[in-house]
């Protein structure tokens, strides 16, 4: 079969294994080459679907994604039970650790770090924690911690100076500093693909988020009696458990993905837009939340606002990664492998001819088995 889009001769399939273009002509809408109805890391979804797990955990197949979703919901249910029981200190701790721990399990599960777990985890999650400790301590020296961290007992009234720090200056500083450790990852040449940059960034952002939350709530954690009336804590707990880590992880993930693209010599408007989007989203998240809290509207609106910001950030990440995968996966050489998404035995280069998954987003074990077969068949190994 000859692909209409890249004009290579490729095995028969719904998708071109070289360029990922959709080969169907009926019922499909939009550009077959960009195929935005089939997200390259998870072809079952549209690119513009604000899904948390398929975006930030890109190496997982359907089944594993499902397990992680369940683990997350069990964790959230646990937080809810602790809140109802009035065990706020325990609920804060579970909330702070939930997403970072899930991500650590994911990195292990997908073997994203390949043979270098210590270095990669140290420079991503570890680096994020160190930056988080330093930045949060300095921020608290500059700004009154009682007002800075969410506190249901804080009074109303808009504080312009505080809003400037919390809503503008701190987010920009954080977005500059969070990616630094992963930027200096010594063996980063082993991880050339944009999807690696994204995952490292998310890990660093989650490390930061963990340190930020624990330090921000340190006085609450040490002073609050173990058992108190549940009160309004559920709003802050939702932010700590879900939106804060997702915001911090996604923003740094996007920035490092853009840096990885720049290293591949593919820095374009989409990547610069991604960095801008990460910074703007962080400002909108922190500034907007602070403003809404100061004007003492129903706290539910704060959560809705945070969800909207995080959702838009996730969609932009998918847009960036989708196009990166389509561009970068084009020249992998042919090999027999099993598609991690549709589980078909396939003979493929960059994309599964059956479901269109970009095979650069496959877990390490799949890629490894693939390269050994490729060498056995005498084809040159892939150059990075
Ligand atoms: Zn093609
Ligand atoms: Zn497939």
Using the predicted structure, report yes or no on whether residue 148 has a pLDDT greater than 50.
no
Q: Give residue 364 CA to ligand 1 midpoint distance, Å.
A: 25
Distance 10 CA to ligand 1 centre (A): 8
What pTM value is reported for the model?
A: 0.91
Per the model's pLDDT, the better-predicted residue between 272 and 226 turns out to be 272
| pLDDT tier at 112, thresholds 50, 70, 90 | confident
Could you say which ligand is closest to the alpha carbon of residue 330?
A: 1
Q: How far is the CA of 270 from the centre of ligand 2 (A)?
A: 27
Q: How far is the CA of 18 from the centre of ligand 1 (A)?
A: 5
Q: Scanning the structure block, which residue is given the tokens 């399939």?
A: 13
By mean pLDDT, which of 55-59, 81-85, 328-332 is the weakest? 328-332
Residue 267 and residue 340: Cα distance in Å, rounded?
29
* Contact partners, residue 322, CB within 8 Å, separation at least 6: 36, 39, 40, 41, 47
Integer Cα distance of 96 and 87 in angstroms: 14
> How far does residue 3's CA lie from ligand 1's centre (Å)?
4
Q: Looking at residues 59-75, what average pLDDT do you find? A: 92
Cα 22 to ligand 1 centre (Å): 8
Dihedral angle computed from the Cα positions of residues 184, 245, 98 and 312, in that order, rounded to the nearest 10 degrees: -120
The rounded Å distance from CA 32 to ligand 2 centre is 17
Expressed in angstroms and rounded, the spacing between residue 6 Cα and the centre of ligand 1 is 4
Among candidates 311, 313, 353, 315, which has minimal Cα distance to 332? Answer: 353
Q: Give me ligand 1 centre to Cα 263, in Å.
A: 25
Which ligand has the shortest distance to the CA of 340?
Answer: 2
pLDDT for 377 beyond 70: no
Ligand nearest to C-alpha 43: 2
Ligand nearest to the backbone CA of 341: 2
> Could you say which ligand is closest to the alpha carbon of residue 6?
1
Lowest-confidence range among 13-22, 151-160, 221-230? 151-160
Tell me what pLDDT residue 136 has: 95
- Report CA(7)–ligand 1 centroid distance (Å): 6
């Amino acid at each position: 079969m000859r692909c209409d889009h890249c004009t290579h001769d490729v095995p028969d399939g719904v998708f071109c294994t070289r360029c990922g273009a959709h080969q169907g002509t009926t019922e499909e809408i939009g550009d077959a080459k960009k195929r935005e109805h089939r997200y390259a890391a998870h072809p079952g979804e549209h690119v513009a679907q604000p899904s948390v797990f398929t975006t930030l955990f890109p190496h997982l197949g359907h089944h594993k994604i499902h397990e992680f979703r369940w683990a997350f919901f069990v964790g959230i249910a646990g937080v809810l039970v602790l809140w109802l029981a009035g065990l706020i200190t325990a609920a804060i701790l579970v909330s702070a650790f939930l997403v970072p721990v899930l991500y650590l399990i994911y990195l292990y599960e997908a073997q994203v770090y390949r043979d270098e777990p210590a270095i990669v985890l140290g420079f991503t999650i570890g680096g994020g924690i160190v930056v988080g400790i330093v930045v949060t301590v300095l921020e608290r020296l500059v700004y009154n911690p009682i007002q800075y961290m969410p506190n249901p007992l804080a009074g109303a009234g808009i504080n312009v100076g505080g809003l400037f720090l919390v809503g503008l200056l701190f987010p920009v500083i954080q977005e500059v500093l969070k990616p630094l450790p992963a930027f200096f990852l010594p063996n980063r040449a082993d991880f050339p693909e944009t999807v690696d940059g994204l995952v490292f960034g998310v890990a660093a952002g989650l490390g930061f988020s963990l340190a930020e939350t624990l330090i921000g709530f340190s006085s609450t954690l040490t002073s609050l009696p173990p058992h108190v009336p549940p009160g309004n804590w559920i709003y802050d707990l939702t932010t700590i458990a879900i939106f804060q880590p997702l915001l911090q992880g996604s923003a740094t993930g996007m920035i490092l993905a853009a840096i990885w693209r720049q290293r591949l010599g593919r820095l374009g408007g989409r990547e610069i837009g991604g960095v801008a989007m990460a910074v703007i989203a962080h400002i909108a998240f922190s500034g907007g939340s602070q403003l809404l809290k100061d004007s003492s509207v129903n706290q539910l609106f704060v959560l809705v606002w945070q969800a909207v910001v995080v959702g838009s950030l996730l969609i932009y990440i998918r847009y960036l990664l989708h196009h990166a995968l389509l561009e970068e996966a084009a020249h992998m050489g042919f090999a027999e492998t099993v598609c991690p998404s549709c589980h078909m035995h396939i003979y493929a280069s960059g994309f599964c001819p059956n479901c269109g998954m970009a095979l650069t987003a496959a877990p390490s074990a799949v890629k490894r088995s693939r390269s050994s077969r490729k060498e056995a068949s005498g084809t040159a190994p892939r150059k990075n």
